[in-house]
Amino acid sequence: MSGEGGSGRDESQTRVERCRKLRRYESVIETVGDGIYQLDLSGRFVDVNDVLLDVTGYSRAELVGEHVSVLLDDDDVARFASDILELLREPTESVRTREIPIRMRDGREIPVEIRFGLLTDDGEVTGTVGIARDITERREREGQLERERDLLENVLETCPVIVGVFDAESRDLVRANDAAAQVLDAYTNGSEVLEYTAGSIPVYDEEGEPVPREERPYAWALERGEPVYDWQAQMELPGGERRWYSINAMPLLDDGEVEQVVVVGDDITQLKRQTEWLRRERDELRSELDELFTRVTDAFIGLDTDWQFTYVNETAEAVLERSADELVGANVWEELPETVGTAFETEYRRAMETQQSVSFDEYYPPLDTWFEVRAYPSETGLSVYFQNVTERKAREFELERYETIVETVDDGIYAVDSDARFVLVNDAFCETTGYDREKLLGAHATIVHDDAVTPQVGRMAEEVSEGSREEIIIELDLSTRDGEKVPVESRVAPLSMAERDGRCGVVRDITERIERERELESRVRQQQVVTDLGQRALAERDLDTLVETVVAAVADTLEMEYCELLELHPEGDELILCEGVGWHEGIVGTATVDAKENSQAGYTLCSNEPVVVEDLAAETRFSGRGLLLDHDVTSGMSVVVGPPDDPWGILGAHATERREFSQNDVNFLQSVANVLATAIERAEHERAMEESERRYRTLAEQFPNGGVALFDEELRYTLLEGAVFEEYDISSERLLGADVADLSSDVELGDDLRRYCRDALDGETTRSEFEWNGRVFQMWAVPIVGERDEPYAGMLVTQEITELRERERELEQQRERLVALNHLNRVAREVTEAVISQSTREEIERTVCEALTSTDSYLFAWVGEVDAETETVSLREEAGVDGYLDDVTLSVDPDDPRSRGPTSRAVQTQEIQVTQDIFSDPHYAHWRERATMYGYRSSAAIPIVYEGNLYGVLNVYAERALAFTEEESEVLEQLGEVVGHAITAIERKHALTSDQLTEIDLQIENVFDELDLQATATDEITLGQSVPIGGGEYLVYGTASADDLEVVREIVERVPHWIALRVLSEGFGRAKFEIRLSEPPVLSAIASLSGYVKHAKIEDDDYHMRIQLPVTADVREFVETVQEAYPAAVMRSQRQVTRTDDASNQAVSAFYEDLTERQRAVLESAYYAGFFEWPRESTGAEVAESLGVSAPTFSQHLRKAENKVFDALFAENRGV
C-alpha cells in the first residue's frame, strides 16, 4: 500500500511539472516573433500562435480545423507531404527546412521559411509542428545584392580603364575586367581562367628605365597599407608596344591587415603625345612672338590664366623698370602688388571672364605715371599693351580744372569775338540772363545790354592797350529774357583766338551790394538818431519833451507818416495814445486801443516781441484795426517799451503804402524803444527814490519791534531809528559816528556785527538771529548800492521775533501731534477692521500691538491682564519690544506703593492714564531708569473695558514728550473700547456656542415687598427672552394673566430701569407683553459675562431666575453684582450642565457669527414680539418703534438677517 501511495505522489508531481512546462512553452510560443503551428496527420491545423494569425490575416477560429491547402497551392502541399514521408523514413533526420510562398486571407502571397518536424506521443507520430518565418525582407535584400553585383560586373566590363584585384599573400591576380586581362595577357590558352602574378609585365619610367617590382604602386599599397594615386609609367604590352598608364592602387584591409589590392590603370598615351606636340608648338610660337614683339613700339606683357608673366618686351622692361628674367613665370599681383584693388586688376579680370577686350586709363603710384592700357583676352591668357600718357593727362586735368572753375563759380563768364558775338557762356551767365546757352551762342551782345555798352567797352580796351587804363571795369544793367534789369559789374579782358581777337568778361550781380549799401546808409542814419536820442535822454529831465522828440525822430528816420507811443493802463486792459505824429487832431492823449490780442499794439504786448505788418487788410493774427484803418494805414511796425515782465507800453510806426521792413528797421525801432524805456525807468526810479526816501525815513522813525541803522564804509553808524532803541534805553545820538560793534557790550555779538557789515559792503545780504537781554532778534545786513550798482554803505534791520519763534515751536508741536493723530486714526481704523476678522482674543491683542508699533509715532506696545488673586498685571502680548515685563512686577493693590504707576491707575479707575513727560511726572519716578533704558519719553495706559467689564490694559510708549494729546487720548480710549467690545463678542460667541455651561438659580422672596409694591399676582408672570438693542437698552418679552397686567405696569412704574410696557396680545386669559429696560444691572452683568437668562418668573410673590453662564465666568463676582442691586437675592443652586439645544449648528453659527448685533436684535425682537405669528401680534412699524429705528430700516435689517439664517439652514441640508 505504501508503494502504491508513493507512485501516486510521483505521478501527481509529474503532472504538475508537465503543467508548468506547458505554461512555459505556451508563454514562449506567444512571445516569439515567428509563426508557430501544429498539424494533425491529415494536414489540418490543430493550433496556431498569434504571430501566424497576424501574418496570414486569418483569425484563430477561421484557421484551426482547416486543411493546410488554405495557405499552400497543390504543388507545395505535395512537396510538403513528400518531406513528411522522408522524415518518417529517415528517423535520424528530425527537422526539415523549406522556402515556399503562402497565401494570405486577402489573396496576396508572401515568401516564408518553414522549419518543421514530426510530433510524437509515446513514440507514436500524431502530426507535425513547425515555425514559419516571413522572409520578404530577406528576399528583397538578396535581390538588391544581386542587382548591385550585376551592375558592378557591367561597369567593370564596360569601363575603358583596366581594373584588377591582387591577392596580398600570393600576389596573384584574382579578379580583372576584360580590358585588364587583355593588357596583362592574363588569359591562358584562350580560356577565361586568370593566370597572372603581380610584377610580371615590364614597366619603364619617364627616362625609359625599368621600374623594379618593389617600387611599383601595388607593392607600395601592399607594404604600407596606403593608397597610391596617378602614378605614371610606361607598360610594355605582350606585342612589345609600350603605352603610358596612370596607375591608382588601393589596399583592402581586414582587421588592419591588407588582404587584397585593387589596381586601376588609365591609358594616357594619347595625352602624353598631345602634351609633347603642344610643347613643341609652344616653343615655335614663342620664337615667332619674340620676333614679332621686337617690332612692337608699345610696352607689352603676356599673362597666362594663372596670372603669371609669359612675356615682357623691352619697352615694358624700360617702363616697369624690371627685367624680363625677373618677371617671366612670376605672378603679376605679387610682383606688382600696388595694382591689386585698382582698375588694373578689375579690368584684367573682367576681360578674362567676359573674353572681351578692354581699354582704360589708370594711374600707377609707384612710377608716378598714368598709363593707357589695352588688354586682349584669349583662352590661354591675356595680352596687355600700355603706354605712358602722363603728359596728356596733365593737359586734360588742367583743361577740366578750368572748365570746372568756369562752370562752378557764382559769377557769369562769357567770351565774344571781334564782332561782339557770344562764343562762350557759363551756366551762371545763362541763369542771370534767363537765356538758354543755345540762344546766346552766336547772338550779339546787345541781346543782354544797351547798344552804347559795346562801343564804350571798345574805347576802354583801347585805353588799356595805350597804357592809360589798367583794367576794364564797367557797371551796367543786364537785360533778362523776362525784360527785367539786373545791375551787374563786368570785368573785361582781351582774348586771343585762332583767327581773330575777341574779349572775355566776368559778370557779377551787384543787386545785393547796392541794397546793402542802401541799408548801410539807412543803418548809419538810424544809429546816429539812436545815439542822439540816447544823449538827449541823459540830458533831458522833462520826460514829455523827450517823448515828443522821440516820436518825431522815428517818423522822420523811417520816412513813415505815423508814429505813436502807447502807455499801458495800470489795470492792464487798454493802451492810451500818449504821444504821436501824423494822427488826427484831438486823437493824441484821448484815444485808446485794446491791450489784448484784438489790436496790433495788444498783440505786440501779448507776444512780447516786435510785430511787423506788410498788409494790414490781409492780417490774420489780430482783428481790431479801428484806429489804424481810420488813418488808412497799410503797413507798420510795433515793439514793446520796457522789460518783458513789466512793460511800460508800445512804440509803433506806420505807413499808408505797402512796404517791406528790414531787420535793421526793426532793430532801430527796438533801440529807440530801449532808450525810451531807460529814460522812463530812470524818471520813475527818481520819483520812486524820492518817495522811497520819504517812506523809509518815516518807517525807520516808527519801525515796530526793532530798529533800522545805516552805516558807512568805515563801519560807523550814520542813522539809528526805531522803537527798539527807546524800549531798551539806547541813545541813538550817542551811537551816531560810533563803530557798529558798540551797539552791544557782548564782544561776540559785536564781532558778528562787524563781519555782517563788511559782507554787506562786499555786496552780500546776511540774515541772522541772536539773543539779547533774554529776547530773540532777527537781523539783516543789506548793501546800499549806487548808480554803478556798487555798494557805498549798508543798512542793519533788526526786529524782535521772540513771540514768533514761540508760535513756530507751538505750530511744530501741533504739526507733530496732528501727524501722530492721523497715524493713530489710521491705525485705529485698521485695527477696528482687523479685530473684526479675528477669531481669538490672542489674535485681537496681537493685531492691536503690531498695528500701533508699525507707525513712526510709537516705539512699542503691550497688553496685560489683571490676576484677581495676586492683584498683579501679567503680560499677554507685546510688539516692538521683547520681554519688557520679564523682571517687573506691576501691582494693582491700592495699598501697594508700586501701584501708583499709570497701568495700576488705569485698572483702578478704568480710565486712560497718560504720562506726557516721564522725567517731569512725579508718579513715574520709579520708572525713569527703565524709560531711559528703552528710550521712551511718554506713555499711555488704556483700559480694555466693555460694559463695565475690564479685560486688561493696553500700554503704548512714544519717543517724544507730549505725544498723547487730548485728541490722541480720545482715539486710544475708543480703541480700548473697540478691543473690549471685540473680546466680549468673541467670548460671548464662544459661550453661546459652547456645549458646557454653568447654570445657577437665583431667588428673591417676597419680591413685591422688596420693590415696596402693594400688589399680589394671581397667576404666574413669566419673563422670557431679553434682546439687547444698543445704548445699554434691552427688550424683555414675557406673559401674564389679564388680571396681572396691572401688576406688571406697577413694576414698570416702580423700578427705575424699567422704562416702558407694550402689550402685544391678549387672549385665552393670558397676555404677551414687551418691556423696555435701560441699563438693567442684572442683565448688563449677564451680558458682560456672555451669558443669558434661561427663564425667569414671578410665582407666589417670589422671583425666580435661572441663568446660564460660560464655565470660565466668575460666579462669585457675578452674584455679588446682583446682590448689590438686589440685596435680597439669594443663589439657590449652581451646577455644570451640557447644552441640550437641538438647533442646527449651522443656524446657530450663522446667528452668532454672520449676523451683526443690530440684525440679531431685529430678528429676536420681531420673533418674540409676535411679528411672525398669524395673525401678527406686532406690526413691523411697532417693532421698529420699540427698537428706535424707522420702519424701512427695520425691514432692511430683518430681510438680511433672514437671508443669512436661511442660507445656513439650507446649506446644511443641501447634501440630502
Residue-wise pLDDT tens digits, 731-773 = 777 888 888 888 777 888 888 888 989 998 888 888 888 877 7
**What pLDDT does residue 943 have?**
93
**What pLDDT does residue 705 have?**
67
Residue-by-residue DSSP string for 448-463: TS-TTHHHHHHHHHHH
Residues 261 and 252 sit within 8 Å (Cβ to Cβ):
yes
Say yes or no to pLDDT of 651 above 90: yes
Average pLDDT over residues 328-350: 92
Closest CA to 756 of 746, 771, 770, 766: 766
> What residues have CB less than 8 Å from 1030, skipping those under 6 apart?
1157, 1158, 1161
- Indicate the pLDDT class of residue 650, thresholds 50, 70 and 90: very high
- Indicate the pLDDT class of residue 349, thresholds 50, 70 and 90: very high
**What pLDDT does residue 653 have?**
93
| 3-class state of residue 298 by DSSP | coil
CA–CA–CA angle 38, 44, 49 (5° rounding): 35
**What pLDDT does residue 304 have?**
93
- Indicate the pLDDT class of residue 9, thresholds 50, 70 and 90: low
**What pLDDT does residue 1213 have?**
45
Cell of 758: 563788511
Average pLDDT over residues 501-508: 84
Closest CA to 617 of 597, 595, 642, 636: 636
Lowest mean per-residue pLDDT among 38-42, 381-385, 722-726? 722-726
Say yes or no to pLDDT of 90 above 80: no
Average pLDDT over residues 941-956: 86
Strands (DSSP E) along 337-452, which ranges?
A: 358-364, 369-378, 381-388, 412-416, 422-425
With pLDDT > 70 as the criterion, what percentage of the chain qualifies?
Answer: 86
Strands in 717-721's sheet, in edge-to-edge order, are: 717-721, 706-711, 791-800, 775-785, 766-772
Average pLDDT over residues 263-281: 83
**What pLDDT does residue 941 have?**
92
Lowest mean per-residue pLDDT among 383-387, 511-515, 545-549, 655-659? 511-515
Average pLDDT over residues 368-380: 91
Closest CA to 853 of 881, 829, 816: 881
Q: Are strands 162-167 and 95-103 parallel, antiparallel or unpaired?
A: unpaired
**What pLDDT does residue 65 have?**
92
Say yes or no to pLDDT of 1216 above 50: no
CA distance 960 to 52: 99
Say yes or no to pLDDT of 885 above 70: yes
Angle between helices 1157-1168 and 1191-1213 (to 10 degrees): 90
Over the chain, what is the mean pLDDT? 82
CA distance 627 to 592: 9
Q: Which comes out higher in pLDDT, residue 862 or 921?
A: 862
- Indicate the pLDDT class of residue 626, thresholds 50, 70 and 90: confident
**What pLDDT does residue 195 have?**
78
Which one of 282-286, 523-527, 605-609 scores highest in mean pLDDT? 605-609
**What pLDDT does residue 293 have?**
55
**What pLDDT does residue 1142 have?**
46
CA distance 785 to 609: 32
**What pLDDT does residue 1144 have?**
46
**What pLDDT does residue 717 have?**
85
Task: Report the 10 Å Cβ neighbour count for 157.
Answer: 11
Give per-residue burial for 351-379: e unless 16+ CB within 10 Å, then b: bbeeeeebeeebebeeeebbbbbebebee
- Indicate the pLDDT class of residue 55, thresholds 50, 70 and 90: confident
Q: Which comes out higher in pLDDT, residue 5 or 1184?
A: 1184
Say yes or no to pLDDT of 350 above 90: yes
Dihedral angle computed from the Cα positions of residues 83, 89, 93 and 99, in that order, rounded to the nearest 10 degrees: -10
Average pLDDT over residues 346-354: 93
Amino acid identity of residue 553, one-letter, is A
pLDDT digits (tens, 9 = 90+) for 514-570: 877 777 777 778 778 888 877 777 777 788 888 889 999 999 988 899 999 999 988
pLDDT digits (tens, 9 = 90+) for 667-723: 889 988 888 888 888 777 677 666 655 665 555 555 566 788 888 888 898 888 777
Which one of 393-402, 642-651, 765-774 scores highest in mean pLDDT? 642-651
**What pLDDT does residue 213 have?**
85
Grid cell 581586414 is found at 254
**What pLDDT does residue 2 have?**
41
Q: Which comes out higher in pLDDT, residue 1167 or 17?
A: 1167
User: CA torsion sign, 469 to 473 to 476 to 479?
Assistant: positive
pLDDT digits (tens, 9 = 90+) for 1004-1023: 998 888 888 888 888 899 98
With pLDDT > 90 as the criterion, what percentage of the chain qualifies?
Answer: 14
**What pLDDT does residue 382 have?**
92
